[in-house]
Amino acid sequence: MSEPSDAPTTASPSGSPFADLAAFAALPRVGGLALSADGRRLAIAVQTLDHEKTAWQSALWEVDLEGRRPARRLTRSAPGESSPVWAPDGSLLFTSARPDPGAGEAAEDPKPALWSLPADGGEARPVLTHPGGISRVALAADSGEVVVTASAMPGAGDAEADAERRKRRKEAGVTAILHEAYPVRYWDSDLGPATPHLFWVGELPAEPDAGAERPPVELRDLTPDAVPPSGAGGDLTLSPDGRLLVRVESVPDGPAGRRDRLVLLETATGEARALVDDPLADLGAPRFSPDGSAVVCVRESMSTHDEPPDYTLLHVDVATGAARELTPGFDRWPSAPQFSADGTAVYFLADDDGRHALFRVPADGGEPVRMTTDGAYSDLQVARDGSALYALRSAYDEPPGPVRLDPEATGQHPDPLPNPGTLAGLPGTLQEVEATAADGTPVHCWLVLPEEASAERPAPLVLWVHGGPLMSWNSWSWRWCPWVLAARGYAVLLPDPALSQGYGQDFVRRGWGAWGEAPYTDLMAAVDAVEQRPEIDESRTAAMGGSFGGYMANWIATQTDRFRAIVTHASLWDVDSFIGTTDAAYYWEKEWGDPLRQPKRYEQNSPHRYADAIRTPVLVIHGDRDYRVPIGEALRLWYDLQKRGVPSRFLYFPNENHWVLTPGNAQVWYETVLSFLAEHVHGQDWQRPELL
Q: How far is the CB of 472 from ligand LN4I5W3F (least distance, A)?
A: 11
Q: What CA–CA distance (Å, rounded) separates 42 from 35?
A: 5
**SS3 letters across 439-456:** CCCEEEEEEEEECCCCCC
Alpha helices of 487-560 — where are they, by DSSP H? Answer: 505-509, 518-531, 548-559
Binding ligand LN4I5W3F by CB under 6 A: which of 7, 272, 471, 646? 471
Whole-Å CA distances, 212 to 129, 206, 208, 338, 531: 19, 12, 6, 41, 72
Stretch that binds ligand LN4I5W3F, among 25-33, 275-283, 379-387, 544-552 (CB under 6 A): 544-552
Stretch that binds ligand LN4I5W3F, among 96-104, 546-554, 592-600, 675-683 (CB under 6 A): 546-554
What pairs with residue 315 in β-bridges?
A: 296, 324
Q: What CA–CA distance (Å, rounded) separates 130 from 568?
A: 41
Q: What CA–CA distance (Å, rounded) separates 692 from 649?
A: 12
CB 527 within 8 A of CB 493: yes
**Secondary structure (3-state) at 241:** coil
Nearest alpha-carbon partner for 29 in 478, 662, 665: 478
Evaluated on CA atoms 669, 673, 678, 680, the torsion sign reads positive
Stretch that binds ligand LN4I5W3F, among 121-129, 416-424, 465-473, 534-542 (CB under 6 A): 465-473
CB 375 within 8 A of CB 365: no
As a whole number of Å, the CA-based R_g of the chain is 26
Q: How far is the CB of 483 from ligand LN4I5W3F (least distance, A)?
A: 18
Strand order in the sheet with 134-139: 134-139, 146-152, 195-202, 220-221
Residue-by-residue DSSP string for 53-104: SSSEEEEEEEE-TTS-S--EE----SS-EEEEEE-TTS-EEEEE-PPPTTSS
Contacting ligand LN4I5W3F within 305-344 (CB under 6 A): none
Q: How far is the CB of 573 from ligand LN4I5W3F (least distance, A)?
A: 12
Q: Does 628 bind ligand LN4I5W3F (CB under 6 A)?
A: yes
Cβ closest to ligand LN4I5W3F, residue 483 vs residue 551: 551
Cβ closest to ligand LN4I5W3F, residue 449 vs residue 570: 570
Q: Does 256 bind ligand LN4I5W3F (CB under 6 A)?
A: no
Q: Does 129 bind ligand LN4I5W3F (CB under 6 A)?
A: no
Q: What CA–CA distance (Å, rounded) separates 106 from 158?
A: 23
Q: Does 587 bind ligand LN4I5W3F (CB under 6 A)?
A: yes
Q: How far is the CB of 628 from ligand LN4I5W3F (least distance, A)?
A: 5
What pairs with residue 30 in β-bridges?
A: 46
Q: Does 571 bind ligand LN4I5W3F (CB under 6 A)?
A: no
Q: How far is the CB of 575 from ligand LN4I5W3F (least distance, A)?
A: 11
Binding ligand LN4I5W3F by CB under 6 A: which of 346, 629, 637, 660? 629
Q: Does 519 bind ligand LN4I5W3F (CB under 6 A)?
A: no
Q: Does 607 bind ligand LN4I5W3F (CB under 6 A)?
A: no
Q: How far is the CB of 391 from ligand LN4I5W3F (least distance, A)?
A: 22
Cβ closest to ligand LN4I5W3F, residue 183 vs residue 402: 183
Binding ligand LN4I5W3F by CB under 6 A: which of 360, 658, 680, 682? 658
Q: Does 224 bind ligand LN4I5W3F (CB under 6 A)?
A: no
Q: Of all residues in this chain, which one has the CB nearest to ligand LN4I5W3F in the complex?
A: 467
Q: Does 547 bind ligand LN4I5W3F (CB under 6 A)?
A: yes
Nearest alpha-carbon partner for 375 in 415, 328, 326, 423: 415
Number of shown-chain residues binding ligand LN4I5W3F (CB under 6 A): 11
What pairs with residue 34 in β-bridges?
A: 43
Evaluated on CA atoms 266, 270, 276, 282, the torsion sign reads positive
Give CA 490 to chain center in angstroms: 26
**Residue 397 CB-half CA count within 13 A:** 17
Binding ligand LN4I5W3F by CB under 6 A: which of 377, 507, 548, 627? 548
Cβ closest to ligand LN4I5W3F, residue 336 vs residue 405: 336
Q: What CA–CA distance (Å, rounded) separates 210 from 511?
A: 65
Cβ closest to ligand LN4I5W3F, residue 56 vs residue 200: 56
Cβ closest to ligand LN4I5W3F, residue 474 vs residue 547: 547
Nearest alpha-carbon partner for 217 in 229, 225, 208: 208
Stretch that binds ligand LN4I5W3F, among 107-115, 263-271, 527-535, 542-550 (CB under 6 A): 542-550
Q: Does 682 bind ligand LN4I5W3F (CB under 6 A)?
A: no
Residue 632 parent element (H or E) = helix 632-643
Q: How far is the CB of 571 from ligand LN4I5W3F (least distance, A)?
A: 9
Cβ closest to ligand LN4I5W3F, residue 587 vs residue 652: 587
Q: Does 546 bind ligand LN4I5W3F (CB under 6 A)?
A: yes
Q: How far is the CB of 479 from ligand LN4I5W3F (least distance, A)?
A: 7
Q: How far is the CB of 305 from ligand LN4I5W3F (least distance, A)?
A: 17
| Amino acid code (one letter) for 315 | H
| Amino acid code (one letter) for 253 | D
Stretch that binds ligand LN4I5W3F, among 188-196, 215-223, 417-425, 463-471 (CB under 6 A): 463-471
Binding ligand LN4I5W3F by CB under 6 A: which of 421, 467, 497, 519? 467
Q: Does 229 bind ligand LN4I5W3F (CB under 6 A)?
A: no
Q: What CA–CA distance (Å, rounded) separates 644 from 27?
A: 42
Q: Does 29 bind ligand LN4I5W3F (CB under 6 A)?
A: no
Q: Does 184 bind ligand LN4I5W3F (CB under 6 A)?
A: no
| Amino acid code (one letter) for 638 | W
What pairs with residue 9 in β-bridges?
A: none
Contacting ligand LN4I5W3F within 34-73 (CB under 6 A): none
Nearest alpha-carbon partner for 258 in 276, 232, 274, 281: 281
Q: Residue 643 phi/psi, 5° resolution?
A: -65, -30
Cβ closest to ligand LN4I5W3F, residue 396 vs residue 548: 548
Q: What CA–CA distance (Å, rounded) separates 189 from 198?
A: 19
CB 339 within 8 A of CB 296: yes
Residue numbers of the site for ligand LN4I5W3F (CB under 6 A)?
Answer: 467-468, 471, 546-548, 584, 587, 628-629, 658
